[in-house]
Amino acid sequence: MAKLWGGRFTKETNKLVEEFTASIEFDQQLALEDIKGSLAHVQMLAECEIISLEEADTIKNGLETLKKKIENEELEYAVEHEDIHMNIEKHLIDEIGTVGGKLHTGRSRNDQVATDMHLYLKTKTTEIIQLVEQVQHSILVQSKANVDTILPGYTHLQRAQPISFAHHLMAYFWMFERDKERLVDSLKRVNVLPLGAGALAGTTFSINRERVAEILEFDSIYPNSMDAVSDRDFILEFLSIASIMMTHISRLSEEMVIWSSQEFGFIELDDSFCTGSSIMPQKKNPDVPELLRAKTGRTYGNLMGLLTVLKGLPLAYNKDMQEDKEGMFDTVKTLDGSLKLLAPMIETMTVNTGAMRKAVTEDYSNATDLADYLVTKGLPFREAHAIIGQIVLHAIQQKKYLLDLNLEVYQEFSPLFEEDIYEVLAPENVVAARNSTGGTGQTQVKKQIELAETKLKSVEKV
């Protein structure tokens, strides 16, 4: 079958080359975007009197027919037509005749595919922002229910200081808030129209690129035609943001895996997000958070893959750039699925407050408060630190915790200790004492939650 571009060639394309270079297997995901861009393009061509109104109407009707077939999954794609653009153009010509060939006036597949990807990421970025907000909502639900739930906070995975479980969860809310802000900001770069740049140098036709941007609701157009067809920064930025977000998802997933282990027992994931063992009947495996951790590698790989593809490319378009799509599609799919699972998994998990309470009373994570106590009595912090270190060592040797030691023992190390140290050491008071802005004290955590709710509501209004 003759290619739509085959006039200059004397031989048919080698079948292996045809299969190797074709992108239709994956870029058919851009079918609706391709139709949308073409409808705007043909409208502009008619308004600029480059084609007649009658021709434009015929082409529009043909494109609308193909759009319905795409939506109903009735359109068939052929490898010999290489990509989504040529497949649609071939179907259009079959549908309305040779006038369909006028659709490609004043454009190239180079600016066409770039436009399709801009349109695709505009939609997907907006959808992902909404999914991030669902995760944030789930975090808020659990946080509001666990302001007074206390567990050990960790550094180096060693118990450090008692904290509110809500405070711990809210750390992830703010991570996702930054992810969301990055996505919102990236839309500035996504919302730039490349169509009308042609293959690389523009076109001889008197087109109106600004009009196409208006129809497609783009904020601006690329001012340089070569940059327009070769720019993939907007995809790199999306892949970078997605990789950072998957890092956050992975960190939270790791904690869920640890917390749900028998050794910790801080939470229990809902049965609907776990699986069993084919041999060990007692097992309840946290497969979902484990897979979320693993899928982070896919997003990293997709980012590194495209960076590598682009790093040495001369201007303008090169066939190498066909490799920009599969990683983008895969990352969108990975992020979409991960966020859709993460939100309900967080909201439905059971918090074992008893296990958390037991953990925070059977450690030395209140030691810093003893040091602060001595500081309030006038002792320099470094001296106080040394004294408390000796007390902790003594308690460990006696197989006791700080709350178990008698006042006489404390006073052997420093006469500054008084009966009120037991109030200072109580986990609730340890947490409440950290009332500095952004701290884990219950008052501050409640303020933090209020701020977070305000942010989500302001987004909903927009």
Q: What is the pLDDT of residues 125-148, one digit of tens each?
A: 999 999 999 999 999 999 999 999
Catalytic residue among 156, 206, 272, 436: 156
- pTM across the whole model: 0.93
The answer to whether 90 touches 4, Cβ cutoff 8 Å, is yes
Residue in the block written with tokens 């809500």: 166
Could you give the 3-state DSSP secondary structure of residue 437? coil
| pLDDT value, residue 2 | 58
Stretch (H or E) spanning 457: helix 442-461
Q: Which tens digit of pLDDT belongs to each residue from 293-333? A: 999 999 999 999 999 999 999 999 999 999 999 999 999 99
Closest CA to 56 of 43, 38, 40: 43
Residues 6+ apart with CB under 8 A from 338: 246, 249, 292, 295
Question: For 146, phi and psi rounded to 5 degrees?
Answer: -135, 30
Residue 366 is classified by DSSP as T
| pLDDT value, residue 24 | 83
Alpha-carbon separation of residue 263 from 354, 356, 427 (angstroms): 14, 12, 21
Q: Which amino acid is at 3?
A: K
Confidence at 344, pLDDT banded by 50, 70, 90: very high
| pLDDT value, residue 37 | 98
Could you give the 3-state DSSP secondary structure of residue 267? strand
What burial class does residue 398 get, using C-beta atoms within 10 Å of its C-beta: 0-12 exposed, 13-18 middle, 19+ buried?
A: exposed
Residue 197 predicted with pLDDT over 90: yes
Confidence at 6, pLDDT banded by 50, 70, 90: low
Q: Which tens digit of pLDDT belongs to each residue from 160-173? A: 999 999 999 999 99
Residue 13 predicted with pLDDT over 80: no
Catalytic residue among 164, 253, 277, 278: 277
The answer to whether 236 touches 77, Cβ cutoff 8 Å, is no
Query: Cα angle vertex 166, ends 161, 171, to 5°?
Result: 80
Tokens describing residue 35: 């139709």
Q: Which tens digit of pLDDT belongs to each residue from 82-121? A: 899 999 999 999 999 999 999 999 999 999 999 999 999 9
Q: In the predicted model, what is the mean pLDDT of the chain?
A: 94
The gap from C-alpha 267 to its chain's centroid, in whole angstroms, comes to 25
Query: Cα angle vertex 174, ends 170, 177, to 5°?
Result: 135
The gap from C-alpha 106 to its chain's centroid, in whole angstroms, comes to 37
- Asked if 38 is an active-site residue, the reply is no
Q: Which tens digit of pLDDT belongs to each residue from 356-399? A: 999 999 999 999 999 999 999 999 999 999 999 999 999 999 99
Percent of the chain with pLDDT over 70: 96
- Asked if 168 is an active-site residue, the reply is no
Residue in the block written with tokens 């790199």: 236
What does the alpha-carbon distance between residue 230 and residue 194 come to, in Å, rounded to a whole number?
10
Residue in the block written with tokens 């550094």: 155
Closest CA to 250 of 338, 183, 349: 338
What does the alpha-carbon distance between residue 379 and residue 275 come to, in Å, rounded to a whole number?
55
Stretch (H or E) spanning 152: strand 150-155
Domains in the chain, start-ordered, CATH in brackets?
Answer: 12-105 (1.10.275.10), 110-205+216-358 (1.20.200.10), 364-453 (1.10.40.30)
